[in-house]
A and B are shown apart, each in its own frame.
Chain A
Amino acid sequence: MTGARAWERALVVAALALACALPFALSGFRAFQFTQVGIYAIALLGLNILTGYNGQISLGHGAFYAIGAYTTAIMLDKWNVPYGLTIPVAGLVCLVAGFLFGIPALRLEGLYLALATFALALAVPQILKYFEHWTGGSQGIVLSRPEAPAGLTLTPDQWLYFMTLGVLVVLFVLSANLLRGRTGRAIVAIRDNPIAAQAMGVNTALYKSLTFGVSAAYTGVAGALSAVAVAFVAPDTFNVFLSITLLVGIVVGGLASISGAIFGALFIQFVPNWAQDISKAAPWAIYGIFLIVFMYTMPRGIAGSLKLVLNRLARASGGAGGPV
């Protein structure tokens, strides 16, 4: 439907303009929160490629987030590598780690895969504590926050924000191209009917483990960015709850949707804060209720509901429309 496409494009441009103006209108703390949103969005896109598009449920993506963060932190801490360089390396490390984990995961489906990845999420903080020499044990690693490059009159908060935004835009464009083409169709075909996909000549095993790798790489880059932005890593910040939060993010944002990653990131960044404002005593109870009500009203996530609205708008403006 071309009408919906046009609406979509207009929205993307508007969102991008808004995103560029944002850090100048907000306080440093707010700008930092939105940097966090950008980082989450990258991680969510990674998880969404795996779970939303390829149908492999992961309850353990916090593990790749942690691996990315620690790769960057260790490189900065031990070898003084420029931080800009550590981020692609972190992505690469996670690509390999994800690919390798994806191979045994091939044999697991649905719930079983969810549980195996969950075990991964449980294990990673403990492994991090174990290799104390490299990781600093439970104390973690304290880093220094980067300044904006000379010549740019930006505060460190604004600089981090724009760096994250830049990485986000590049990664989003890359994934949009990947998912629209032949590869994307193969990935989705595997989710919808693995046997048929195989019969059509899709190498399902290779695609599934590659998808796992790419997905882990995205989430790893997000982890690396967070290490730079927060300037601190510790094993217990990468607990099981992080993995669950990421899963909540993609479902609330909208499965198998690129824009859903942004909506999901906004949700997981800000809704817990609102819950805290509403009730100091039991904020997570408020969050839980909010989550459940949200799922009742938008069972296909924000992006899913938005798509319905856009289609309706396009039909209204374009006159005759087909059945929903």
Chain B
Amino acid sequence: MEIFLQQVVSGLATGGIYGSLALALVMIYQATDVVNYAQGEMAMFSTYLAWTMINAGLPYWAAFVATLAIAFVGGLVIERVVIRPVENAPILTIVIVCIGLLVILNSLAGWIYSYIQKPFPSPFPETPIVIGTVVFGAHDLGAIGVTLVVLVFLYGFFRYTMLGLAMRAAAQNPSSSRLCGIRVGWMLAVGWGLAALVGAVAGMMVAPIVFLDPNTSPGGAVLGGLIVGVVENLVGTYVRFIGTELKLTVALTMILVVLVVKPSGLFGRAVVHRV
């Protein structure tokens, strides 16, 4: 019984990281319509950058902040340079460009850092936290804390700032947004930047648990989380199809709890079709 409880708790912890990050990405998606299939690879690459900086002797949190900044700017620049030329092309053309981006990043990471797994440090103490008879990994708890901060930050950003509002407007009604003076293209770029930033957080929080290597990247898990999150967001009924991996299933349960409380997502956006 104790072993069972222990398993549930540690599963819940990892699932919690995936779950909250998936939720963060879903939030960005809902607010900006930014779909980035290279999301996972960008996260993986950011984590490698963090690894490089930490190995060069930078303190963890300095490397953390620097990585976030690089990821944000990187996402922004990639949107402006790579995605912009196909902005008005059919959606699948954009998807293919994203796939191109994905294989480039994956291949570059393998080339620069080799495909050998690398350990990634955790900023949290190694001593576990014991509550009753159940043991929590300090990293698990810390990572959940960090992702929750990201979540709250994003929620506040979209809800209360003018820029967040403008981004949501640009996603909903581009032509009307232009008439309000909003530079729609840049809003999209900021969306990419934010998504890259959240991905980087995900990568750095998950890497200490699963190690770093270009193929089984933490980013891939985040993408999985995103998939589950988005699909879940629309149809709770199809859970059975997806729950092939326990971690994701637990992440799913986390999201489910949120969805039961707020069924149409955090902004309460109901989809209405006009004929």
Chain A contacts to B: CB under 8 angstroms: 51, 57, 104, 107-108, 110-112, 114-116, 118-120, 122-123, 126, 195, 244, 247-248, 251-252, 255, 281-285, 287-292, 295-296, 299-300
Contacts and interface: CB of A to CB of B under 8 A. Distances in A.
Contacts of A116: 231, 238, 241
Contacts of A119: 227, 231, 241-242
B241 A123 contact: yes
Contacts of A108: 234-235
Contacts of B103: 284-285, 287-288, 291
A189 to B, nearest CB: 15
Contacts of B95: 57, 114, 247, 251
Interface residues of B, number: 35
B275 interface: yes
15 contacts: A104-B241, A108-B235, A110-B91, A112-B235, A115-B227, A120-B241, A123-B241, A247-B92, A248-B99, A282-B107, A289-B104, A291-B96, A291-B103, A292-B82, A295-B100
Interface string B95-110: 1110111111011101
B235 A291 contact: no
What secondary structure prevails in chain A residues at the interface with B? Answer: helix
B172 interface: no
A282 B115 CA distance: 12
A32 to B, nearest CB: 25
Contacts of B231: 112, 115-116, 119
B89 interface: yes
A295 B230 contact: no
A245 to B, nearest CB: 9
A282 B99 contact: no
A247 B90 contact: no
Contact of A247 (B96, B101, B107, B108): B96
Contacts of B101: 288, 292
Nearest to B104: A288
A299 B89 contact: yes
B160 interface: no
Given A116-B241, A291-B99, A57 B104 contact: no
B107 A283 contact: yes
Contact of B99 (A120, A195, A244, A296): A244
What secondary structure prevails in chain B residues at the interface with A? Answer: helix
A195 B92 contact: no
B62 interface: no
Nearest to B89: A299
Interface centre among A123, A284, A296 (most CB of B within 10 A): A284
A295 B104 contact: no
A112 B234 contact: yes
Contacts of A110: 91
A299 to B, nearest CB: 4
Contacts of A296: 85-86
A114 B227 CA distance: 9
Nearest to A288: B104
Interface string B73-90: 000000000100110011
B148 interface: no
A226 B3 CA distance: 46
B227 to A, nearest CB: 5
Contacts of A300: 90, 93
Nearest to B98: A292
B242 A295 contact: no
Contact of A284 (B90, B107, B275): B107
A282 B244 contact: no
Contact of A123 (B97, B100, B244): B244
Contacts of B54: none
Interface centre among A107, A247, A290, A291 (most CB of B within 10 A): A291
Nearest to A109: B234
B111 interface: yes
Given A107-B235, A108-B234, A299 B100 contact: no
A107 B86 CA distance: 29
B227 A118 contact: yes
B89 A295 contact: yes
Contacts of A111: 35, 230
A253 to B, nearest CB: 11
Nearest to B101: A288
A300 B104 CA distance: 22
